[in-house]
Structure 1
Amino acid sequence: MPTAMQATQGALAGVVVLDLSRVLAGPYAAQHLADFGATVVKIENPRDPDVARGFPPYLRAGDREFSAYYAQYNRGKRGLALDLATAEGKQTLKDLVVNADVLIENFRPGTMERLGLGYDVLAGINPRLVYTAISGYGHTGSRSRRPAFDNTAQAAGGLWSMNGVSGEQPVRVGVTIGDLSASLYGVIGTLTALRHAEQTGRGQFVDVAQVDSVIALTETAVVDYTVAGRVAAPAGNAHAWVRPYELFPCADGQVFFGGYTDKLWRESCELFGTPEAASDPEIDTMQKRFDEEAYERRVKPLIVSWFAGKGRAELEKLAGDRIPLTAVKTIAEVVDEPETQRREMVVDADYGDLGSLRMFGQPVKLSHTPAVPDRRANEVGEHNEAVLSELAGYSHERIKELRSAGVIAGA
């Protein structure tokens, strides 16, 4: 019979996750597990809680404020404020590990070992523990202990050098793709190891590096270099070799058009009133249209003429289900788009007097055990009593002692 702490629904109901991570690479991984029903305990240092709590924008009510950034990546978690620098704090974590299935941390490699809480120690307490460590360079290699941020991963993983406008200075990807990708690979690794632990009773160490995660997102760049000797460089809105597959201007903005296969090219030529272009011997095959000179001289000007004078909505309606053509939208347009609402990709969480927080939803849709993303995030140490009593078996008196000693703080 699950306790109140574990009484969640979803595919991961009953799975207990200890989340020691901060900011994004790690919290986002744990957030996905929470969305699908895992009991996730956010463990923060009471003297130095997650720095993301100070990131804008904020929900505000009078003198109170709550970071919407923090809320989006820590929704549905339980809060425990625990000082791991103290002997009692270390023992408390060990007592929680006894009944945990997963631990996620994103400290620099060596930090948990210095605290006496490394994988070997915790696995000795609970052999089935899945210990997921997300870091900049990973836990092996000469660079493992270097400090790292998202931009570190974009730079060291090669992605930064590939992104931007041709002939100009490279530009970082506009979101923290190093953090985000490491979190998503962290989820994959965690669930894979959890499956093995459920079958064998043996957990394992899951080592995910931001740099590795970025390298795995560089698409054809690695094989382009190893096979053909080509070094990827910024190409603006164009694909490295697939054509047409880029941004095109229209009357009220831009659209993406990707009719590069022979079938799609024929459909497009017919749709836009130039059916003869589909059989033009200079551009009648996909391989010929991939040729950069032929593309720039013949194909691209033709497409520009198709879209001239037409608006984004008109072009999308015209394309319909026949060809891949999509308006380039602002985030405001995306949030207000009816289809975004139908797909539940913007959800509302109730923060009481602070109001309602609209944030992105869960992109993975399960038919029988759907995610529950519309939940608020924890205050620092909000669930100390419930976590320690139900997951560690502590008495009220023991919890009071820890609070008096400053080992825990908050509720």
Structure 2
Amino acid sequence: MSDVKSAAASGITGSGPLKGVTVLDITRVVAGPFCSMLLADLGATVIKVEHPDDPDYARTFPPFVNGDDGDFSAFFTQFNRNKLGITLNMKSEEGKALLKTLVRRADILVENFRPGTMEKLGLGYEVLRKENPRLIYTAISGFGRTGPNSSRPAYDNTGQATGGLWSMNGYPDMPPVRVGTIIGDLAASLYAAIGTLAALREAEHSGRGQVVDISQQDAVLTLTENAVVRYTTSGEVASPLGNDHPFVRPYGQFPCKDGFVFFGGYTDKFWRITCEMFGEPELADDPEIDTMEKRFDARVADRRVKPILERWFSVYTKAELEELAGDRVPLSAIKTIAEVVEDPHIAAREMIVKVPVAGKLVRMFGLPVKLSNTPGNPSEKAPNPGEHNSFVYSRLAGLTPQEVEKLSEIGAI
């Protein structure tokens, strides 16, 4: 880690397993901020860098919480909690020089501009590595830094479309449907966090930094499960299946008294337990559906297995079915977000945390990485634009209050 002792001595450290790691976050929206937020939750000191006249426009995304200083985006907070906030104009000469100064004291820089943007600013990796050879330069983009499409603009839907996932989602004989969340942004951020930590580990041993090149298209492609090998081995092109699995049955959504459940008892063991559980053990020995291979047949599943399950489930609620199944078979309620937020198990896992937003505590998702000895802390607020200018610039760049004020007056910060 570059100059970790100096950063720690300056008081710019978090607490947790990444304590002492300093991250410059010059990303916006989600693909990038989510990556650096994970690092912040795990104890890194993450400094969110925004243009003084054009801050992260995710600050304008609902829902909002009204406070004494106006509305503040809970969406923005969810992906920028636990960060310090500074402003910096990287187009100005003073701003460029200041970023280079900060890079000397940082371990990681995360950016999500279109490839080539930082180079046009004179702040690409080859320039910054001269300031800090140990720097981890994490770049997230739609198509990555190499390849014929690298300069194309992209959003989350771009990744879903070009990575193949969109074409697989939805119902048979209907147009494909995008996944109902920004899975391209989120997946790219997760891979970026993994790659960044791997590169940081290498830098600790070798003293050499490197580029972590993350593509939304690449990230989405890895989420297509068996679609690639189905195509490369048999020429089969994956298409929308609704709630069905391409070959495992029963394994999907089934209606019940007050909604729907997922049931995945497709093995012979689980099928026998299920038949006994619903008082018809003889069905486990029915010669038409007594083996897993027979139940995999789509025609048999539709004609025999599906009606049996729907008859069993129809007289129970989601909660009753979960209680009945218990630890015996894989059966889960398909829960609304409201039900998930209030789920006792989610509470036990500390996956809903209270984070300050505009002076109020707002519940949002927590940190899914659970470490036994050095747990993360996802509870601090997101910064206002430039909130920590004086603090960061004095400690990492050695500027006096007068110098900070002058840079602000000329629009450099």
Shift of 1:118: 0.3
Structure 2 spans left out of the alignment, 5+ residues: none
Matches within 5 A, 1:3-18: 3=9, 5-18=11-24
TM-score of the superposition, structure 1-length normalised?
Answer: 0.97
**2-structure distance, mates of 1:359, 1:333:** 14
**2-structure distance, mates of 1:118, 1:84:** 12
Q: Does 1:66 align with 2:72?
A: yes
Shift of 1:63: 6.2
Q: Does 1:42 align with 2:39?
A: no
CA pair 305-36 structure 1, distance change in 2 beyond 3 A: same
Q: Which among 197, 214, 232 is matched to residue 226 of structure 1? A: 232
**2-structure distance, mates of 1:367, 1:192:** 20
CA pair 146-394 structure 1, distance change in 2 beyond 3 A: same
Asked whether the 8 Å contact 2:160–2:166 carries over to 1, the reply is: yes
CA pair 258-26 structure 1, distance change in 2 beyond 3 A: same
Aligned partner of 2:127 in structure 1 is 121
**1-structure distance, mates of 2:60, 2:361:** 19
Asked whether the 8 Å contact 1:6–1:13 carries over to 2, the reply is: no
CA pair 247-143 structure 1, distance change in 2 beyond 3 A: same
Amino acid at match of 2:127: V
Identity of aligned residues (%): 58
Q: Deviations over 1:96-154 (max 9, x none)?
A: 00011000000000000000000111111111110000000001011001010000111
Shift of 1:61: 2.7
Aligned partner of 1:97 in structure 2 is 103
Aligned partner of 1:346 in structure 2 is 352
Amino acid at match of 2:408: R
Amino acid at match of 1:126: N
Matches within 5 A, 1:189-268: 189-268=195-274
Amino acid at match of 1:192: A
Q: Deviations over 1:346-389 (max 9, x none)?
A: 1112346x411211100111001111001100000000011111
**2-structure distance, mates of 1:201, 1:285:** 57
TM-score of the superposition, structure 2-length normalised?
Answer: 0.96
Shift of 1:5: 4.0
**2-structure distance, mates of 1:5, 1:84:** 25
Amino acid at match of 1:388: Y
Deviates more, 1:135-144 or 1:293-302: 293-302
Shift of 1:165: 1.1
**2-structure distance, mates of 1:63, 1:365:** 35
Aligned partner of 2:88 in structure 1 is 82
Aligned partner of 1:365 in structure 2 is 370
Shift of 1:233: 0.6
Asked whether the 8 Å contact 1:80–1:383 carries over to 2, the reply is: yes
Amino acid at match of 2:410: A
Q: Deviations over 1:330-351 (max 9, x none)?
A: 1111111222211111111234
**1-structure distance, mates of 2:404, 2:392:** 10
Shift of 1:72: 0.5
Q: Deviations over 1:278-297 (max 9, x none)?
A: 22222222222111111111
Q: Which among 372, 375, 382 is matched to residue 387 of structure 2? A: 382
Report how many residues are paired.
407
Aligned partner of 2:404 in structure 1 is 399
| Pairwise CA RMSD | 1.2
Q: Which among 18, 29, 51 is matched to residue 23 of structure 1? A: 29
Asked whether the 8 Å contact 2:13–2:44 carries over to 1, the reply is: no
**1-structure distance, mates of 2:306, 2:272:** 15
Shift of 1:404: 2.0
**2-structure distance, mates of 1:273, 1:258:** 19
